Amino acid sequence: MDFKIAVLAGDGIGPEISEQGVAVMTAVCEKFGHTVSYEYAICGADAIDKVGDPFPEETFQTCLRADAVLFSAVGDPKYDNDPTSKVRPEQGLLAMRKGLGLYANIRPIETFDCLVHKSPLKDELVRGADFICIRELTGGMYFGEKYQDNDRAYDTNVYTRGEIERILRVGFEYARRRQHHLTVVDKANILASSRLWRQIAQEMEPQYPDVRVDYMYVDNASMRMLQEPRFFDVIVTENTFGDILTDEASCITGSMGLLPSASTGDHTPVFEPVHGSWPQAAGKNIANPLAQILSVAMLFEYFGLMEEGRVIREAVRASLDAHVRTPEIQVEGGATYGTREVGEWIVKRLTPNPSL
């Protein structure tokens, strides 16, 4: 297969982890006889500094020309700490999602046995947890009408039937491919938008008689996720709730640096780590590249190349088992490995006749 990949490294640790993701993709393509070309583009704070726009038109066109986007992270403290700033790096991320019609964000939560001890939760709670969060990505408060002055502000949480139906359909289909269990998370006791979500989900249930559906308020879901994470198989929810719940889920795996994601919809799909730009670590070679690398595995699997995805996941697990880890997940007394060294180890593992 021929791949055209748009690479958006972004801000903070983005360029460092992006380099490792590209290296892994190149190695896998060579291993399986695929060809790949890369086109690099700017976004986030880097793009604001260069052209005044966090997602310039040229970057958008680069994404449209590509088969897939390998994205890293955006964000910078100089914008985070200025509430009056009219242009922000995160606006570029939202613009990319909206422009590419990326309405479905797929975030798998999977534990690694050798890292269960890194979770703040008890071993018996998290070991074996394996579920997927499907987050609606182009509606809700993030995209609704907004207003702010010195005394009053609001964000409008708007959803249409069409937006809800298409993301619920994604949730039902994923449940069918897994354990046939779908949890719809909302706040239907308070929010009108959530009541519409629940109404439509109940209307769609008869179309999927093989899927067991339950409904859970978001506050209950946030507790259940920590008390009984193995309960879940597929979760589907709206934009804001999904953002918060999936970040919370990182404590199950022991590190946000292990969580990949895919955003899919009308145009070019985007594959990215769940974590942010961590600007304090930029240039220090300490950021965990595994979420970026696992996002490459999801990229291959999106195109039906399951064996390619499998060998990446196998190499990641091998690196963890061999204690080739960045500092935040390294065992006490373990050797020091940086972003670059972890990536290089995995690439060597993926090459023919590896020396490891």
Looking at the DSSP bridge assignments, the partners of residue 37 are 4
**Can 247 be counted among the known catalytic residues?**
yes
Annotated catalytic residue: which of 113, 219, 266, 321? Answer: 219
Residue pair 171/134 in contact (Cβ under 8 Å)? The answer is yes
Annotated catalytic residue: which of 46, 186, 243, 337? Answer: 243
Alpha carbons within 13 angstroms on the beta-carbon side of residue 209 total 1
List of residues 6+ apart from 337 with CB closer than 8 A = 324, 325, 326, 330, 345
Annotated catalytic residue: which of 118, 187, 233, 337? Answer: 187
**Can 142 be counted among the known catalytic residues?**
yes
Annotated catalytic residue: which of 79, 103, 142, 337? Answer: 142
Cα–Cα distance measured from residue 315 to residue 326, given in angstroms and rounded to the nearest whole number: 15
- What separation in angstroms does the CA of 71 have from each of 20, 137, 295? 12, 16, 9
Backbone angles phi, psi at 185, to 5 degrees: -105, 130
Annotated catalytic residue: which of 80, 215, 247, 302? Answer: 247
**Can 154 be counted among the known catalytic residues?**
no
Record the tokens describing residue 234, joined without a space.
């597929």
CB count in 10 Å sphere of residue 191: 15
Enzyme catalytic residues = 142, 187, 219, 243, 247
